[in-house]
Structures are given as C-alpha cells and as structure tokens.
Structure 1
Amino acid sequence: MSTQKTPQAVLRAVTWFSTFGALLFGYDTGFLNGALPYMSKPGQLNLNAFTEGIVTSSLLFGAALGAVLGGRLSDRIGRRKVILYLSIWFFVAALGCTLAPDAGVMIAFRFVLGIAVGCASVVVPTFLAEMSTAERRGRVVNNNELMIVSGQLAAFVVNGIISNTLGDHGDVWRYMLAVATIPAIVLWFGMLIVPESPRWLASKGRMGEALSILKQIRDEAQANAELQEIKNNLAEESSMKRATFKDLGIPWIRRLVFIGIGIAFVQQITGVNSIMYYGTEILQSSGFGTKAAVIGNIANGVISVLATFVGFWLLRKVNRRKMLIGGQIGIIASLCLIALFSHLLAGTGELPFIVLLLTVTFLAFQQGAVSPVTWVLLAEIFPTRLRGLAMGFVTFFLWIVDFFVGLLFPIMLSHLGLTYSYMVFVVLNIVAVLLMKKYAPETRGYSLEKLEHKFRNYNAPTKSMDEEANAFPSTR
C-alpha cells in the first residue's frame, strides 16, 4: 500500500477487503433461505424435510471443521494469506454447488463450501482485532458481523428478484447461487494489497516488518509504543513455545476456552439461524405463498443490516455484558410472542404478517446486540500466541451447535409446528441468560495485551463475572 495514505485510510481498506470473506460467509449461508422451495421441487433435487436439513447443515458441519483448520493455518502461515486462499476456495465450491446435478453432489460441495465459511468465521475477526486500535476494535470487528448480515441480505434480495422474474424456470435456484462467485473474485484482488497482521509477524520474530505495518495503520509514536507492548507481551508468553492443543489446558487459558464455548453456544441457540436459513419456510408455514414469502423474507435481511449499525453505536457506549444479556432478554420476549400468536391465530390471515413483524423484532435484538458482542468477545479474550488456535477450537463448537439447528429445525417445524418449535428455543435462551450472567467477561476499553495480562492473573475462581466486570471501565 502507498505510504502516502493516512493510517485511517489504510485501516479502512484492510477492513473493507478482508470482510468480503464475511460477505461470502453471509451469502453462502443465506441463499438457501429462498432457494430451498425451488430445489425441493420434483425434477430438481427432490428434497423432503430431512434432506432439506442435510443440505443446509452439511455446510455447517464443514464450517465446524473449517473453524479448527482456519485457526491452525492462520497461526502457521498468517491471517492475510489464509484469507487470500479462501477466496479461491469460495469460488470453486460455489461453482460446484451451482452445477450440482443431484442432492448428493450438492451436499458434498456444500460441505466443501462450509470449510471455507468456517475458516473465514475465525480468521477474519481475528485479523480485524489484531489490526485495529483498542478504542476502535469493537467497531472494526463488528464490520465482520455487518458484512455477514449484508451477505445474507444480498442473498435474500437476489433470491427475491430471481424468484419473481424467473420463478417458473426449473433451474432458478442455480442462478441464485452463481452470484456468490462475484464477491470471491473481489476478495482475491483485495487481499493482494492488504498487509499482514503486525501481531502475527511479531509472534514469528519479524519485528521490523511488524513495525513497518504498524506505521501504516498508526501514527509513528503509537506504532512504536504498540510494538513495545507486543514485545513485552510475547516475552511473558515465551515459556509457552509453539502453540498446541495441549496449551489450551493451561488453567487460565482453559477458563477462557470454556467461556468462549459458552459465548459461542449462546450465539447459536437463540434460534437466529432458524430464521436466516428457513425464514421463507417459516413465513410459508404461517400462511404466505412461496413468492410472497421470498419477498417478505427480505425484511429479515434489511433489519439485520440496520440493527448491526445500532450495534456499532452500542459497542462504543455500552459494556459488552450489558449488550449481551439485554439482547438475550429481548430475544426471549420475541420468541415467546412468536410461539403465542402462532398458536392463538393459527389459520388466520393476520398470522403471517404478525410472524414477519416478530421475526424482524427478534433479529433487531440478535443482530443489534447478541451477534456483535459474540464476535468481538471471541476475538478479544484469547492470548496472541494462541488466538488462531483457540478461536478455531471455540468456533468449532459454535458451528456444531449451528449444524444441529440447521439439521433439526425443518424436522421440528414439520412435526411440532411453529409454536412448540420456538418454545424449545425459549427454554434454551433462559439457560443462556443465566450462563452469561455468571460467566461472561467485560473487555471494553482495554488493549489486547492488557486484557491478556488481566486474564492471565485472574486467580479467584469463585469471583463472579459481575464482580470482575466492576473492575473494568464502565465507559471510555
């Protein structure tokens, strides 16, 4: 990158191009929402409730494996290089899904595509966290979430346009997926000009290169001070040597891993992806026709994007724990109302519109509070030397939970109906609130190195997270 560019301009370019991986993450997980009704038709892939779940969840199972692979690879060869390779993987896998002749081939390529999605879900937020300053880290990392929901919105809009222009064409769903190759090409060219993470370079002993990149994204005094802080932190970690899974058993790191798994669990059992994957079918089950449901589902994508901008603002103003727990309470209320009205108004003309309104409300809490905090916390809590490995390990559990949601929801919807399916999520979310109240840490306002020092020296296992949160600044 040109040295004439300001640090802010360089960081914007880093954020913009690297998050195209998140855009692909969103599009590839969201396109099935409108495509499933067409893929399921006779003469196409002939899917039933079970095979719909398999086609959807095969990507999620691949993502679980990709999360572990992505973390290891990014620690070994660098964050930037992994994202660059992912652009090729996304392109090839999306093309394979587009041309799939039957359900078996589609499932295989969805699994391959999932590996790329899982890698991106780990490496992109890690890369963003390491490139940003402490005061901007929440907002920068939240760009990852913005691009995920923007990718899902793009999928919903493309689905709506194609459905209403080519809806009678047998291969309409193939056109929906083919669009995913475009952002993969943009990601490739963008990552060619983006620098590597200075923290990763420093962890490999390449201090000169790390300083050079820090000077591109910070002013000179800040770059020198930050490099010194990184050096001091690496010196504390020197006894750990090469990062391995055995290192995750070190007591203070093990504690963070369990907290991370809990945060990942919470992100998925809200039920958000029952809407993002099957929103069209939910609206169909409440009374909309197929084309109307595909169009109505766009509202879910729009509110997700708008709520993410609210998340940007909240991350600067509100502590992470308050956002997380407050968002979960809003989600529980929304789920209860969906379950209640789908029971009381079953078969009425009002029900589909009420369900659409309540799914939009649900997503406002999810994408405006819970999802932004999830990805920021996971990118913040782990030490530099183990960040890729630990992020991959924790995100593996996130995707495994998502796999079961994607697999089981169409079966639940078919056998239990909308009311009881969402009552299951209500119970799970009550458990989630209790878990986060007890264990979620507060990280706002601290550099990654200071957070690591804080967690490393946490020696009071009986101390509650409420007490720990009081030790962190309430505002900055």
Structure 2
Amino acid sequence: MKSNINFSYLVFLSVVAALGGFLFGYDTAVISGTTSQVAQIFQLDTLQQGWYVGCALVGSIVGVLLSGVLSDKLGRKLTMILSAVMFSVSAIGCAFCVDFNQLVVYRIIGGVGIGVVSVVSPLYISEVSVAQYRGRLVSLYQLAVTVGFLGAYLMNYQLLAWSNSGVAASDSWMDWIFISEVWRGMLGMETIPALLFFLIIFFIPESPRWLIVRGSDSRATGILQRIYGSVQQAVEQLNETKSMLLTSASSQSEWSVLLQPGIRKAVAIGTGIAILGQFMGVNAVLYYGPFIFENAGFSGGDSLFYQVMIGLVNTLTTVLALVIIDKVGRKKLVYYGVSGMIIALCCIAFYFTLGEVWQIPSWVLLFFFLAYVFSCAVSICAVIFVLLSEMYPTRVRGLAMSIAGFALWIGTYLIGQLTPWMLQNLTPAGTFLLFAGMCIPYMLIVWKLIPETAGKSLEEIERYWTDSEK
C-alpha cells in the first residue's frame, strides 16, 4: 500500500507551500544589510532605527493572529495567495517608496505576510502529507526559511559589491534602486520569489482535510486519490477524517472545540514550547551574532564571515534533520539536540569567562557557536513547526496554530528586545548560561507531555489528545 503513494506529487505540493518559508527567511534577514543605509538616507535617530527594524515584527504579530481565522474560513490555498500578494506589494513598495513613513507601511505589510505564511504554509504541508513522510515534508518549510536567510545575505553582499563597483546602470531608475540607494534593490529583489509564489500556488489544490470540514467530500476524495494512488485508501482517509469531525462535535463553535479539556491541554503545551524555544538562544545568535563576536574582540569583517558560516551550518543541518526526522522521531531529536545545546551554551559561557585569561584561541568560540547552531537546527528548529502543524484537530487547526504562532512571535520580539540588555547587564557568560537553563524545562515538557507523533496520522494524534482527558 505504501508504494502506491504519489511521493513526487507530495514533494511538489510541499515545495510550493515551503516557498512561503523562503519569503519568510528573506524578508526577515534582508533588513540586516539595509539598516545603516536607510538610517543615513532618512536621517533616522536611534528610536526610528529601532522602529524600522521592529515594524515588520509588529506586522508579523498581526498576521499570525489573522492567519488562523483566514485559513479556517477562506481555506489554506487562498490564504497563501493573500500572503504572496502582501509580500509582492511590500517588496515593490519598499523599492519605490518616497519617504520613511511609506517604507514603514510597506515593511509592516510584508510583516503581515510573514505572520500569515508562518502558520498556513506548514499547516498546508501537514494536511496534504501522509503519516510516514509528514515530518520530512513539513521540515521543508524550515529548510526554506534557512535558505531564505542565506539568500538575503548573499543578495545583500552581491548588490552592495555591484553598487561599490562604480559601474553605472543603463536607466536612471535602475541606477537609483541598485546603485545610488542599493538598499532599495535589496528589499525589492524579494518581488521575484514573491511573484513566483503567487503564480505557482494556482497549480496546487486546496487542503483535502479543509475541504472535508467544509463538506466538499467529492473534491477532497479526488485530491486524496491522487496523493494515495488508490481509491480505497482515499476513501479510508476521508472516512477517518469525517469520523474525527463527528467525534469533535461539529455543531460546536471553533472556540468551544478549542476549550475542550484535551484540546485545551494541547494548545497550552504548543504555546509553551513555542515561546520557550525563543529563550534558548537561537534568535539571539542569528540576529546578534556579529555584535557578539565583535564584543569578543573579533574584527567587523571576521564577525560577518562567522555569521555567514553560522547561516551555512544552519541550512546544511536542517537538510540533515529533514532526512532523519521521520526515522529518528521528534522526541529523540529534541533529547539529543537540546542536550547538545546545553553543552555548547555552557562552553560559550566558559569561553567568555576564562577565554581571555587562559588565552583560548578565537576559533574555539566559533566552534562552540557552530556546535550550538548544529544542535539547535537538528532539533527544536526542525521539530517546532512539525509539532505545531500536527498537534491540533482539523476543525480548529488554523486557529490553534495561530495561537501558538502568536506566542512564538511574542517570544521572538521579547528576545530581540532583551538580548542587548542581557549582554550588557548579565554579561555574555550570564546570558548564555540563562539560555542553557531555559533548555531544561523545554526538554521536560517534550518528555512528559508530548506524544511521539512520527508515523501517526493526524487523526490518530487528534485521538490521543481527545482521549487523554477522558
């Protein structure tokens, strides 16, 4: 039966949805290469610089709150189309904006797109996947995010090199965007993948599980038949999903279902690991890596080079996680990876405490950081979107993921704001020891409260939560 599954079709659907993750990563990372230029062009003070960096995050929080309602009401496909439109409008608007206020508005629009796609893309992949491949297919989204980060770094580097080469563009507007104010080109180049995302979404079907919720059984059966390669398996999956919908009391409102004891517990756990994961240091390293390295005594050029290496290790390790997540299992990856994170974080703290006194070579600190990024990328970064996309009932999956996603973005915002303060007041050593300490409750939650979901259908996972409180 397994051999009948149309794996190439599943990969196509997943790659299309994962392109939203690339846009997420690019839009998030591209800002790092534009801040100083924008501050100079628009004569920004420090508060305005902070607002320029943080305004997209405000949009992301709004987007993640809207994503659940939109994806449950309009469907996963149409919601992804809306996010692609927002990315396109944002990229074009940023390239051609005439003042700082317009730039902020377009960055917020892009942030809304980030928030929406961070929920709906992994959700869609999870719902079209079959149990034995779901982990690695949903992990394609996280891989796309890391590739988006690298793509932004490389695009910033290449456009800046072109701008500094002294070669004039043929048209005045091209010269304006790619030479004299190259930050416009950095932000505007997102238009290409955004338009590709918009166009290619029209070639994928709606989520069959969402169609079943909406009573479109015939359309859902046709899509399931193409996925499973068998009418019998398609009908069996249709009946299993409909059975779970009847069990969850379809006459109740979405909020009533969400507040049922077992489902409420799943939402609370998902929210907990989403926000806790942000306080284990990953975004502090990805966002403030150059700053941390410079404080450790490295030159600015070395700091940027080290950050590129961190991004490369992050991407390559995500590929490894994608390959093994369904074989090893979600929980084992967390156990191994988070244990490695704790060791690496303690070693980083040790370096900042005694590295100068003991004259430890600088490459040792880089090694500790790369070990941390490896451990993180192979575990919590790869697992979080997989778990959040498969923990919740079909009827309220969008809404529940929106709640967990909101917690994740609040954690991201807090760690972004607090990291400079912690580095200054807790010292780098104290900051990284704090991150190590936050790893322990995360691992305990996964160990004690979350079931192993590898190889289980979404309906089997839903049944675990609904039966757990009986």
TM-score by length of 1: 0.87
Pair 1:190-2:200 in alignment: yes
- In 1, distance between residues paired with 2:355 and 2:341? 21
Where in structure 2 are the equivalents of 1:20-419 lying within 5 Å? 20-40=19-39, 42-43=40-41, 46=44, 48=46, 53-99=50-96, 105-166=102-163, 171-220=181-230, 221-243=232-254, 245-345=255-355, 353-413=363-423, 416-419=426-429
- In 2, distance between residues paired with 1:45 and 1:206? 55
Shift of 1:347: 10
Change (3 A) 1:176 1:409: farther
The answer for the alignment partner of 2:176 in structure 1 is: none
3-state SS, counterpart of residue 454 of structure 2: coil
Change (3 A) 1:95 1:353: farther
Letter in 2 for 1:148: V
Per-residue Cα deviation, 1:272-293 (whole angstroms, up to 9, x for no partner): 1122223333333333444443
Shift of 1:386: 0.6
- In 2, distance between residues paired with 1:74 and 1:25? 18
Say whether the 8 Å CA contact 2:275–2:410 is kept in structure 1.
no
Comparing 25-34 and 71-80, the one that deviates more? 25-34
Shift of 1:153: 1.3
The answer for the alignment partner of 1:428 in structure 2 is: 438
Say whether the 8 Å CA contact 2:261–2:469 is kept in structure 1.
no
Per-residue Cα deviation, 1:118-177 (whole angstroms, up to 9, x for no partner): 111110111000001011111111111110111111112223333445469773433322
Q: Percent identity?
A: 32
Comparing 394-403 and 430-439, the one that deviates more? 430-439
Q: How many residues align?
A: 453
The answer for the alignment partner of 1:466 in structure 2 is: none
Comparing 344-353 and 83-92, the one that deviates more? 344-353
Pair 1:11-2:13 in alignment: no
- In 2, distance between residues paired with 1:354 and 1:45? 40
3-state SS, counterpart of residue 195 of structure 1: coil
Comparing 407-416 and 379-388, the one that deviates more? 407-416
Say whether the 8 Å CA contact 1:338–1:355 is kept in structure 2.
yes
The answer for the alignment partner of 1:472 in structure 2 is: none
Say whether the 8 Å CA contact 1:95–1:181 is kept in structure 2.
yes
- In 1, distance between residues paired with 2:455 and 2:143? 21
Letter in 2 for 1:17: V
Shift of 1:443: 1.3
Shift of 1:226: 1.2
The answer for the alignment partner of 2:171 in structure 1 is: none
Letter in 1 for 2:124: F
- In 1, distance between residues paired with 2:458 and 2:400? 15
Per-residue Cα deviation, 1:50-101 (whole angstroms, up to 9, x for no partner): 6555433332232222112111101101101110111110111233344556
- In 1, distance between residues paired with 2:339 and 2:453? 21
Change (3 A) 1:434 1:228: closer
Shift of 1:183: 0.9
Change (3 A) 1:315 1:108: same
The answer for the alignment partner of 1:473 in structure 2 is: none
Change (3 A) 1:415 1:102: farther
When the two chains are superposed, the root-mean-square deviation of aligned CA atoms in Å is: 2.7
- In 1, distance between residues paired with 2:363 and 2:159? 23
3-state SS, counterpart of residue 31 of structure 1: helix
Per-residue Cα deviation, 1:235-276 (whole angstroms, up to 9, x for no partner): 222444342x34322111110111111221232112211222
Per-residue Cα deviation, 1:437-464 (whole angstroms, up to 9, x for no partner): 332332122111111112111137xxxx
Structure 1, unaligned runs of 5 or more: 1-5, 461-476
Letter in 2 for 1:453: R
Change (3 A) 1:339 1:54: farther
Letter in 2 for 1:161: Q
- In 1, distance between residues paired with 2:301 and 2:180? 15
Letter in 2 for 1:23: F
3-state SS, counterpart of residue 131 of structure 2: coil
- In 1, distance between residues paired with 2:421 and 2:161? 28
Change (3 A) 1:346 1:53: farther
- In 2, distance between residues paired with 1:350 and 1:43? 42
Say whether the 8 Å CA contact 1:342–1:351 is kept in structure 2.
no
Say whether the 8 Å CA contact 2:134–2:326 is kept in structure 1.
no
TM-score by length of 2: 0.88
Say whether the 8 Å CA contact 2:248–2:257 is kept in structure 1.
no
- In 2, distance between residues paired with 1:21 and 1:434? 32
Structure 2, unaligned runs of 5 or more: 166-178
Shift of 1:30: 1.6
The answer for the alignment partner of 1:3 in structure 2 is: none
- In 2, distance between residues paired with 1:368 and 1:142? 10
Comparing 226-235 and 396-405, the one that deviates more? 226-235
